[in-house]
Amino acid sequence: MRESIKMKTNDYNFKFRVSGLIIKNNKLLLVDMDNSGFLCLPGGYVELGETTEEAVKRELVEEIRKEVSIERYLGVVENYFINKYNKKMHEISFYYLMNFIDNDFDEKNFTLIENDKGHNIKLDFKWIDINDLDHFDVRPAFLKKIINNKLEFNHLIFNELENQGFICIL
């Protein structure tokens, strides 16, 4: 088993992640992990020696239990924020537009239990119409802007800690 790329210091926690956007019939697949109260994209940590493409495919298969393919790379986001445990976070995350390999997946909400390195995590998946995203607590918050921008970005820096908002590097 490889090690996930993450570390902790007294000031910050760092994590290197991947996320997959699956959009079908104008609906985005989002997940509420362990009744967190907010929705996020499926994805997870990149492991040492693994490419981001390998990581996003592995993570989505682990979480959704369906084979996926990458339609296209969307971009990378450097994100600085306070997590739900009140810790300062520095996150680098690669985003990919994904598809199911077998296209028989319908848009019904579903729940799965993922065994993530010995920890069971309840995953409540929901298909949310892109036009209704403003009615949901979606995290990271900039995700709504990315979708409203027709998924066009290359490199974004979002610093919630210093209220900087977006810095777009194309």
The residues that bridge with 170 in the sheet, in sequence order, are none
User: How much is the average pLDDT of 128-156?
Assistant: 85
Using the predicted structure, report yes or no on whether residue 77 has a pLDDT greater than 50. Answer: yes
As a whole number of angstroms, the distance between CA 69 and CA 98 comes to 6
Q: Apex CA 42: angle with CA 126 and CA 18, to 5°? A: 160
Structure-model confidence comparison of residues 160 and 78, the more confident one: 78
3-state secondary structure of 33: strand
Reported as a pLDDT band with limits 50, 70 and 90, residue 145 is confident
SS3 24: strand
Bridge partners of 116, per DSSP, are: 119
Residues 37, 30 contacting (CB under 8 angstroms): no
d(CA 59, CA 69): 12
Q: Is the pLDDT of residue 165 over 60?
A: no
Looking at residue 164, its pLDDT comes to 52
pLDDT of residue 167: 47
In tens, the pLDDT along 16-33 reads 999 999 999 999 999 998
Question: How far apart are alpha carbons 119 and 140 in whole angstroms?
Answer: 23
pLDDT at 157: 81
Average pLDDT score over the chain: 87
The predicted structure's pLDDT at residue 128: 95
- Evaluate whether the domain defined by 6-169 bears CATH number 3.90.79.10: yes
The tens digit of pLDDT for each residue in 60-73 reads: 999 999 999 999 99
Residues 6 or more apart whose CB falls under 8 angstroms from that of 120 comprise: 113, 114
For the chain, the domains span 6-169
Classified as helix, coil or strand, 29 is strand
